[in-house]
Structure 1
Amino acid sequence: MWAAFRRGEWFTHRGEVRARVVRRLLLAPPQAEAGHVPRLRLRNVSINGRLDLAEAVLAGTLRLHGCRFEQAPCLDGATLGALEMRDCELPGLSAVGVTIGWKCEIAGCEVRGPIDLYGASIGGTLRLEGSRLTGHGERRGEGALQLLCATVGGDVQAGTGLRVDGCTDLRDTSVRGSVVLKRAELRNPTGAALRANRLHIGGDFNCRGGLVAEGTVDLCDARVGGGALFQEAVLDAQHGPALRAHGIDVGAEFNLCDGFTARGRVSMSSITVRSRLSFKDALIEAPAGQAALISRRSTASELDLRFREPVKGTVDLSHTRVTVLKGTPQRWPVALRMEGVVYDSLLPQLPAAQRLPLLTRDPEGFTPQPYEQLAASYRLHGHDGDARTVLLAKQRRQHTTLPWPGRVWGGLQDITLGYGYRPMRAVWWLCAIMLSGSLLFTRWPPQAVDPGKPPHFQAAIYTFDLVLPLVDFGQEQAFSPRGGLQWAAVVLVCLGWLLATTAAAAANRTLRRA
């Protein structure tokens, strides 16, 4: 082994090597042979005892392939040029505060205890593909992978083949590149599978292509410079939310779409997405009556709610602001809260009659703002007729919440003028009343008040005099009905006042809106 070190060659040995011998070789290295760079390269070696390199300074790369460790190595506070461990077996790894100038590779390894990289500084990429990591808790020193308060100058490649049984903890870590968890398996069914609170990523958070997480994925207050990509990911949590991402800031797309499946609640309020937040072809499984998706007070350029199938639980988008909102009636959630939601466009463009059922799905009952917002969106795109239809539906629902006198008065306004949004109804009502009165008084004219000098009787003008308040053509004063005609005149006068009052109320409402 000493000779291989002096020549920088691989040392392959099926037997055992004492850890203190390896330590002495690294801390007091022999003189290199002429023309060679001294390096420690061990393959298929069993290392007995504990390899303690705490606070050691090693200039080169420590390469260990297929090695087996009796005890967990200690690299606390050490400084290394690079660390390369492939296909190794070890009961854990303690590297608190380690400084690695280049890459740190723990690939294809089986680690039966915590990997503790708290406060580590890695100048290049951290690679964990193909490894099997096992932890025994979520507290400090117990998680399967603990990369807390660390700095990574490159990427974190923890994708294909990685399986973690226990908690993966990336809290308060800064990664200049991307974090890749494609096709990884993170399993901690009784708690958090991934804790990445306040994680800062310069590139993408890439979990697409089949990430499987059993337990909560927690991304609260994380900052992602690129996109957060969860296409085809499966998140399964039986004892809490499947995804918790309150306050996350995503610089590009946040894709929970294209085969994304969450078995449990998705909670992500107060988030900022500078591009698209997409749930297209996503499946969120939550029991009816319980929260399935919570995204209150959030901001995104585009929100796509075209789920794979309608969500049975409640979707809460209260006070969210987007530029474009996409959704089709066939895939809208069963229960949807949209109080305070603001958007410019609702796609695809559909008639108001197909959009209105969406506004009746709020489990807390009627709120006027969603109707006002939908009407404003229609007006913005020149669909004034659809806007009036929405506002009429709002008035109808609003009056169902009033006491019975208010409901009766609202019903009269609806029948006569459609609350001011169907003004032609007043014309047709007036024509019907005028025609009825004219026919009635033509057949049975009233008697003149002064038989000596009666004016010429005009049935239509007389009906106008009765129906239109504050208008006097002289006919009503000159003629007086008798018997049943008197009651007919009273009915016409009442209908006129009712029509005028409802018209005034509708006009007042319209002017106040303007």
Structure 2
Amino acid sequence: MTQDDPPHGWSPQERQMWEAYRGGEWCDGVAEVRGSALRYLLIAAPPPHPGCQTRLHLRGARVTGELNLAEITVTGSIRLARCRFDDAIRLDNAHLGAAFELNACTMPGLILAGAHITLECEIVACTVTGTVDLRSLAVGNRLSLNDTVIHPAPGEAALDAQSIEVGEDFWASGLDCAGTVFLNSARIQDVLALRGARIRGDSGLQAPELTVGGGLFLDSGFSGTGQVNLYGASIGGSVRMNDCRLEGPGAGRGAYALNLSCAEIGGDIWAGRGLVVQGPAIVRDTSVRGSVVLKGARFDISSSVPTADAALDASRLRVGGDIDCRDGFVAHGMIDLRDCRIGGSIHFEGAELTALDDRHPALRGNGVETGGVFNLCDGFTAHGRISLFSVTVRSRLCFDGAALDTPADAWAVSFIGSSATILSLRLREAPAGVIALHHSKVGLLRDTPASWPTGLGLDGAVYDSLHPALPAPARLPWLGRDPAGFVPQPYEQLAATYQRQGHDADARTVLVAKHRSMRRMLPPPARLWSLLQDATVGYGYRPLRAVWLLLCLLSTGAALFTAWPPTAVGDGKAPPFQPAIYTLDLLLPLVDLGQERSYAPTGLAQWAAVALIGTGWLLATTVAAGASRILRRT
């Protein structure tokens, strides 16, 4: 036997395979070959026919016995199509100098752990009843598992591709795995595509510290039962999850459907219409250079309560573009955006958020900073409170056309210690709950009386202007809605706004209303004094009242003392009696016009003089108090 001849004892079909190998041709019509014969063929490597290159191309054969190609080195390509294997294929730590392809093959398992494949590795449309072990596999070009079905025994991993390195793309579209898929620390140079893949297992898809130079595609019907773990992943392009369904492992602390925390995304996250996440989704501490698009997505943790806090936890998320949750976005469970930094805008137009208990709000955005608008408007509905403590919105925070569904006296919106250039509160209808704007700072505050909330907290709120510019009597009921009762600062702020816009009369009306509201809280003596100041000089903001009262008292006194003039007193010659000057001398304390000390009334006129003196002192005191108040404000 020469090197050109197959070993003795080989079947005619195996000899046919030998000759096809030497000619680099497809070997068809071979019903059965031994795994040991395949191994011998690849290790012995007969010389090629003149002008040919050796390749193993086998189609439609049954491979009996074990095909053990561990640690071998093969220079030519290996392509096996529609073959059936009795035992698992072993190529662990093998070195393949060309391509490796399994197309529409059936096998009980595949081991490529530690193997090096110079060109592409394709395991396409295969059926595997065990584990596909690709740990530490290195592929120079493309790796493909398109349309492959992997159904291992219960409890076994379906695909173990930890620490693999792929020089180009990794395609696994249509992959069907009835077990966990491991991609821990995998490195893909270009694209990782799991479009339409189905992964069913307790641990789902485990890909922490995954590195993908291009995009990550979990779309076009991708479904995952169990956890999809992308913690710490680095994705150079975009992440696409449209038409994707994730179902977490159920209730329990730490049981999530999606974990994309501490990840770096170089492009966008496209996870809009068709995305359904049943279970908590975690995107904490992740950086996205582009935008996060969740249009029409649905997040639901109703089956995970009470162990889950949020349907979508995106706290400390950093986004260079927008967060877009428009067009039918639905969440059953809290949306948590605490301490996010958004370079663009946040959109929730038409979204519906539902809090599942009283402990958590429907939307928690405490500490958010956004460079654009923050829109909770145009059909937005929240069943539960919206928490916006210490928020910075450099453009507009808008609630126009929104519906806030909370119980009476419960907080509907807490915009506290926050700032916005424009705050628009033209709601779809007046909410039963409380809108709290305590210690907030707003450039322009827009609202409409028809949708003023039942409770409105304005203590410490500062704004430059209001729209519409209602007159003070129409705006005053707006200030009387604080559940805490009377608070003076909102009156001072509204008056300052009117005064800054040149509406001094409206400003005075607001300040008078402040003192009237304060009067209800005073003890009876102080309340009486407040009434006197209100009636006489309008707490110093109606000084003409004192003038008119003085003129009325002067006219009355002059007429009275003209009819019943007082008698002169003293030894000297009294000045001529002047009724008007005498009355004025009685009314003005600390002023001596020479009439009061020269004449003394008698009878009823004496009591009238006493009344005028007392009234003068009261009038002077209230005028002084009012003047002092105005001077202090100035």
Cα shift at 1:500? 0.8
Equivalence for 2:52: none
- Residue among 169, 190, 195 paired with 1:86: 195
Equivalence for 1:209: 327
SS of the equivalent of 1:477 reads coil
Equivalence for 2:218: 106
Matches of 1:254 and 1:83, distance apart in 2: 33
Matches of 1:302 and 1:18, distance apart in 2: 65
TM-score (norm 1): 0.93
Matches of 1:104 and 1:447, distance apart in 2: 109
Q: Which runs of 5+ in 1 are unaligned?
A: none
User: In the alignment, does 2:286 pair up with 1:173?
Assistant: yes
Matches of 2:503 and 2:223, distance apart in 1: 63
User: In the alignment, does 2:251 pair up with 1:133?
Assistant: no
Equivalence for 2:233: 120
Deviations 1:185-240 (A, max 9, x none): 00012231100111111110111111100001111111111111111110001212
Identity of counterpart residues, as a percentage?
48
Cα shift at 1:64? 2.2
Cα shift at 1:363? 1.0
Structure with the larger helix share: 1
Cα shift at 1:136? 2.7
SS of the equivalent of 2:577 reads coil
AA partner of residue 208 (structure 1): R
Deviations 1:361-387 (A, max 9, x none): 111122211111111111111111111
- Residue among 102, 105, 110 paired with 1:20: 110
Matches of 2:98 and 2:474, distance apart in 1: 78
User: In the alignment, does 2:124 pair up with 1:29?
Assistant: no
Matches of 2:205 and 2:503, distance apart in 1: 65
Specify whether residues 460 and 4 from structure 1 end up closer, same or farther in structure 2 by C-alpha distance, changes over 3 A only.
farther
- Residue among 379, 386, 390 paired with 1:259: 379
Specify whether residues 79 and 453 from structure 1 end up closer, same or farther in structure 2 by C-alpha distance, changes over 3 A only.
closer
Equivalence for 2:162: 54
AA partner of residue 187 (structure 1): D
Specify whether residues 90 and 246 from structure 1 end up closer, same or farther in structure 2 by C-alpha distance, changes over 3 A only.
same
Equivalence for 1:359: 479
- Residue among 298, 311, 317 paired with 1:193: 311
Matches of 1:32 and 1:314, distance apart in 2: 63
CA RMSD of aligned residues (A): 2.4
TM-score (norm 2): 0.76
Matches of 2:119 and 2:211, distance apart in 1: 25
Matches of 1:458 and 1:473, distance apart in 2: 11
- Residue among 44, 53, 66 paired with 2:174: 66
Cα shift at 1:342? 1.0
- Residue among 507, 525, 529 paired with 1:409: 529
Specify whether residues 407 and 17 from structure 1 end up closer, same or farther in structure 2 by C-alpha distance, changes over 3 A only.
farther
Cα shift at 1:4? 8.5
Q: How many residues align structurally?
A: 508
Cα shift at 1:329? 1.9
1:174-323 aligned at under 5 Å gives the runs: 174-189=287-302, 190=305, 191=308, 192-239=310-357, 240-323=360-443
Matches of 2:533 and 2:110, distance apart in 1: 93
User: In the alignment, does 2:488 pair up with 1:376?
Assistant: no
- Residue among 249, 252, 259 paired with 1:146: 259
Deviations 1:338-357 (A, max 9, x none): 11111111112111111111
Matches of 2:141 and 2:293, distance apart in 1: 34
Specify whether residues 70 and 27 from structure 1 end up closer, same or farther in structure 2 by C-alpha distance, changes over 3 A only.
farther
Contact 2:142 2:167 in 1 (8 A): no
Larger Rg: 2
Which structure ranks higher in relative contact order (CA pairs < 8 Å, sequence separation ≥ 6)? Answer: 1
SS of the equivalent of 1:344 reads strand
Matches of 2:230 and 2:290, distance apart in 1: 18
Cα shift at 1:11? 8.1
1:343-492 aligned at under 5 Å gives the runs: 343-449=463-569, 455-492=575-612
Cα shift at 1:65? 2.5
Matches of 1:63 and 1:18, distance apart in 2: 22
SS of the equivalent of 1:430 reads helix
Matches of 1:243 and 1:31, distance apart in 2: 50
Q: Which runs of 5+ in 2 are unaligned?
A: 1-58, 60-77, 82-96, 122-139, 153-157
Matches of 1:268 and 1:10, distance apart in 2: 56
Deviates more, 1:263-272 or 1:61-70: 61-70
Cα shift at 1:478? 2.5
